[in-house]
Structure 1
């Protein structure tokens, strides 16, 4: 039974991280830490971006929760760390690999969810400055993008 609670804790943390990513993106990355996020909207040469620093900002608490939780036998804290890490992996795969194609692993998809995600992110990036941004989430996007993705797929048939 305890393992189920650990899994539920990691799952709840994963979904909470979507809110944290939205909040951080809207109010911190497009706020006082724009210096680090700017090169993500206004691409500069090179593989790495200053924006990659946000990976560390989220990875450090994950690592600390996993390490300290295991060291102290507090598996709820460990579960929180794993929830953060799994969200981070999902974010990396969706954002860096699928959407921005920083790694050429997955290029095309006919999945309506992935099309909606890509379209929502494209709308976010049409704003080159830190103001007037929209669609700050990653895995949860407004329903209008799902409707548009279904329309695109219907037109392909």
Structure 2
């Protein structure tokens, strides 16, 4: 079986996995990283969103061979030590989650959005299209705007 080499949350990893294995399953089942969630498996719900080289990707539809030699960041690697990322802090301050299942993917998508757009409009926020079954979209929108203001 091929060995896949890449970085996860700043750490080099080597893992035996078939080239076509979804990155989500490598992260969860082989590396024990449980932040990215399985929701649909077909790039619709986006509960598995992580970053590859700083850009949001759905790990359920990304092959592990596509991240060889690249940097993968999961929700576990977003904070800077004990200091939460401004998006994570805004999520807490505004009490965004209900069940919390989709929140890692929501947060990772929001961080990517704010990397590209410092003052997102409601349409920009809606365009990230991560699904929240609990319907906390209003609080998600407010948290993204609060994080944008905090990031200045």
Give the TM-score normalised by structure 2: 0.30
Q: Under a length normalisation based on structure 1, what TM-score does the superposition of the two structures give? A: 0.29
Greater strand percent: which structure?
2
